[in-house]
Chain A
Amino acid sequence: MEILLVDDELEFISTLAERLHYRGIEVTYTSKPAEAVELVKNRCFQVAVLDMKMPGIGGLELKALLQEHCPAMQFIFLTGHGSEEDYVAGKSASAFYLLKPVSIEVLVAKIKEAAACLPANQAAPPEEP
């Protein structure tokens, strides 16, 4: 399974990526949204986990940019805000929506759930830890 993680808090995503690795999920991460767009030009990920609010760009806007290159990619939004506005926006964008701080078990379950929504030829179950 190929997961892309984008959040401007580098310390957050690097540690999260390490913990997902321990659970058999390999993650490519970046704290720069523009770099995420460059990454998907060469390689499609099955699931992208995006921060809802990053400097200069919102998660929904980034989702649209990533989908231009990878239309089947599934999305999970992470947010520290938890505002009603974010929740409605996240849900209406056909994506999963989680509040920070997020339990790793909940995130792993959501990643699997999101991956299960992929077309059959693009799905790959994560390895068990």
Chain B
Amino acid sequence: MTSLYGPVGESGLSFFGKVAATACHELKNILAVIGENNGLLEDIVFMAQKGRPFDPERLGRACADVGKQIQRADDLLANVSRFAHSVDCFEDEIDLEDGCRLVVFLARRLTAAKRLTVEVAAAGAVRLAKANPLLIENLLWAALLEAADRCANGSALRVVVGERDGCPAVVFHGLENLDEEFRPTAPWTELLAAASARWEICGLERQCALLFGEDEPPRLDGRSS
């Protein structure tokens, strides 16, 4: 079977699917918690009808648990909805910090697999003047997962948005496995090229960086010159 969309399009579809699947999984879990609390309330009513006194404090905890899950679902849906609207316009001005926060939220189940604590910080407002929102989110997603892969289990990954050498940059701090050669493969190289970005690895400072607006084409070994 041949690709109809090219590596960037294929990557975008795959990214969209992954986000949808992760969100569905989390929603199922939320429903499961609400469902159990609903069942618990039914059990308590049933037992009360049989003459067993019920504990108001336990009812209160069940209500609080349901409220917490509703808030969790609301946060999830707000972010997934924002993500879904990324494809509404082909080019837009992009707030990089905002994009990072969205992607970190959407990927939190995946970063939780390594028990990572991911924090986003920004050194001032950094905007990409004209870019494709889905492409940039896809690139941030790929960069985040690549960085997460290089973190030790249970460690802290810090994502800092700022400028480096006059370019908008997203720097990932707290990485460990930087001795391994970064070998960018499809769709990495294509995503970087399409976004006019490049990926730098700095082992000494235990960090990787995504730099935007570079005229220099991305180096195939992913290392800075």
Contact = CB atoms under 8 A, between A and B. Distances in A.
Interface of A: 9, 11-12, 15-16, 18-19, 22, 53, 55-56, 80-82, 100-102, 104
B113 A12 contact: no
Interface stretch (B24-32, B159-167, B185-193, B210-218): B24-32
A87 to B, nearest CB: 14
Interface of B: 21, 24-25, 28-29, 31-33, 35-37, 39-40, 43, 47, 62, 65, 68-69, 109, 112-115, 153
A76 B43 CA distance: 23
A81 B24 CA distance: 8
Contacts of B35: 100-101
Select the residue from A9, A12, A16 with max chain B CB neighbours within 10 A. Answer: A12
Contacts, number: 61
Nearest to B27: A80
Contact of A100 (B28, B69, B113): B28
Contacts of B40: 15, 18-19
A53 B68 CA distance: 22
A11 to B, nearest CB: 5
Contact of B29 (A12, A16, A18, A19): A12
B25 A81 contact: yes
Nearest to B47: A22
B25 A56 contact: no
A83 to B, nearest CB: 8
A104 B25 contact: no
A104 B32 contact: no
Contacts of A101: 28, 31-32, 35-36
B36 A19 contact: yes
A100 B29 contact: yes
Nearest to B72: A11
